[in-house]
Structure 1
């Protein structure tokens, strides 16, 4: 559990403990005394005790909800939002590779044979078109001339050393414009039949989880020889310069968007007693509500039954509600 979640859970537990120490109202006490006349005993806390199945059912109903004061819920990071209509995306999870865009890679070569007298750029340097990258002393004229960058970009290769011989037409530097990159996504099997250009793509950088949104441009003919996959290509903006050619990425290709009448974020769903539940807030009471889940994507889930539009559903820190309800259920079992 994350440190922030530990703090939230501790705050919730302390708050609820304080609530549970509140004195029992007189009405509750009289109810307990009245119940005793029907052959039901009470414990020292005023809770009814019985070995019958009917009482066990009542305890289950009590364990399905919990009361959390608003101040404690806020400190614990519990957030709610109304359940409502939305869109579920039919998405395909794929992996891919970043590559420079064809036509945006250039070489800086020696015009005349001669000795390299100086080097003024190295791999990784950002250079502008026309910048001098090296000087060469021509064997023909014995004069020195400069080798300049043909385009603006990043130096990705250097094939020269001071004192070395530069032959005519020999590439001394490679420069790539990496302000934009191709993302070549590998799509396998029958999934390739559903992938078409002009659909949304979300690309995720594996190193730090940063995402960018783009659009699929084309599906290449043929298949990748090594992987036997179909290549779907998109272009991304390399604004921070940290998208690097050759890096592997993850991506979600959205094939179709399906409107639904009722949905909740995936963060709202929890599993209890083998069922999917959400927690509905009414005042300060949070109730576990079993729901039937339909289609889902990476962020949202359709709710087919068990929930009404507009009901306030816990969408952040729902696991805290689950933990407290289960704790209440365990205390009743004992």
Structure 2
């Protein structure tokens, strides 16, 4: 975490404290089903911080002399519920009863796991317990004809943040949905005036310059007087005017100097549009053709302009041995300056994706690539399988469903709050 992220995380912690926020783990949530999953549950409803463990390291649920030891088996296999039965503290065969685990995940999503007897004396579900292992749990067991129930919560990767705190911290969510992943190439370039829009303004007749009416940087219109010269031939004054509207780029005229027909007095350029000459190297040049979208970024302030690649020049830039691809940008505000270096993103192709999230949503959580979703005031981690990505977005192959409210800004603050609360859980 860099200094900016650390400062923001500390600010969120202070805001939570000021608003009386209390992370789930501090409220008795968090833990694990086996040696690492969930708090203890003894009796009809329990959520103790230190679970009672059974002989196999699982959570021991006891009621009226009957007991179920419940764990999530995940040693080298996909996580599944596993249980052992007891009566008056003594192990029973797996055939002595049945166990069903009913889960309710964030967003009121129900999930059932029916455990069946194995030859090793335990009962195990065939269904996989998906990550995160964060849910309200109800265990229903029938042991030697006696039905017993337990209920508890087992949360991980979850925290609650007050809406006001989230807003002040800049945490923002957006629904996940379809989008476009682009095949993009990042290149460097240079702004240049467009050919045919630069005028070299010279005197028609030689003679001394009597008056200068324009300076470098002045905007001038077509026909505007730039200087007055006295003709050596007629000994009368005549005006030197601009043939185009634009900006004065250079001035070689000064009062008293002698103007000649061969030396321009002014250089005037129409800079309302500029060429962007982009340098493409190596094999990238084979994939880039005219007509594709280009996003040009000004290095001085990060401003961007959208345009289209007009042509790929046939030659090679001598100094850099690169292929030059050319686009045009609008410069009506005059802030794009000829000679300035720019960077650009050339979009070669676009591919539709069923679900995409911005790269700002991604975080590393445990050994997962993950995002965080919000339901009400509760935020919870979602491990995701990712596909193709570009400079801004990434395709989500699994782990989310359409419409999930995903944290797309300041996601690292949510991660930091979960880790601070101790609800991150380490398998």
Alignment of 1:195-274 (within 5 A): 195-274=288-367
SS at match of 1:48: coil
- 1:77 Cα offset (Å): 2.8
CA distance in 2, matches of 1:320, 1:75: 12
Structure 2 unaligned segments of length 5 or more: list them: 29-38, 60-70, 74-131, 135-154
Say if 2:5 and 2:413, in contact at 8 Å, map to a contact too.
no
Q: Deviations over 1:125-174 (max 9, x none)?
A: 11111111111111111111111111111011111221111123421101
Change beyond 3 A, Cα 1:234–1:156:
same
- 1:17 Cα offset (Å): 5.1
Say if 1:111 and 1:169, in contact at 8 Å, map to a contact too.
no
CA distance in 2, matches of 1:281, 1:21: 15
2:17 aligned to which of 14, 17, 24? 14
SS at match of 2:284: helix
SS at match of 2:249: strand
SS at match of 1:18: coil
More helix by share: 1
Stretch moving more, 52-61 or 223-232: 52-61
- 1:330 Cα offset (Å): 7.6
Q: Indicate whether 1:35 and 2:37 are aligned.
A: no
When the two chains are superposed, the root-mean-square deviation of aligned CA atoms in Å is 3.2
Alignment of 1:278-297 (within 5 A): 278-297=371-390
More strand by share: 2
Aligned residues: 321
Stretch moving more, 81-90 or 178-187: 81-90
- 1:12 Cα offset (Å): 4.4
SS at match of 1:258: strand
With structure 2 as the length reference, what TM-score do the two structures score?
0.68
Q: Indicate whether 1:299 and 2:301 are aligned.
A: no
CA distance in 1, matches of 2:256, 2:301: 42
CA distance in 2, matches of 1:20, 1:325: 8
Structure 1 unaligned segments of length 5 or more: list them: 26-31
Q: Deviations over 1:22-48 (max 9, x none)?
A: 9979xxxxxx89639xxx9x9xxx521
Change beyond 3 A, Cα 1:330–1:312:
closer
SS at match of 1:198: coil
- 1:113 Cα offset (Å): 1.1
Change beyond 3 A, Cα 1:84–1:119:
same
- 1:75 Cα offset (Å): 3.5
Change beyond 3 A, Cα 1:131–1:207:
same
For the pair shown, the structure with the greater C-alpha radius of gyration is 2
Say if 2:209 and 2:257, in contact at 8 Å, map to a contact too.
yes
Larger RCO, structure (CA 8 Å, separation 6 or more)? 1
2:182 aligned to which of 89, 95, 111? 89
Say if 2:358 and 2:392, in contact at 8 Å, map to a contact too.
yes
Alignment of 1:6-155 (within 5 A): 9-10=12-13, 12-14=15-17, 18-19=21-22, 35=42, 47-48=49-50, 54=58, 62-155=155-248
Residue 122 of structure 2 aligns with which residue?
Answer: none
CA distance in 2, matches of 1:326, 1:317: 15
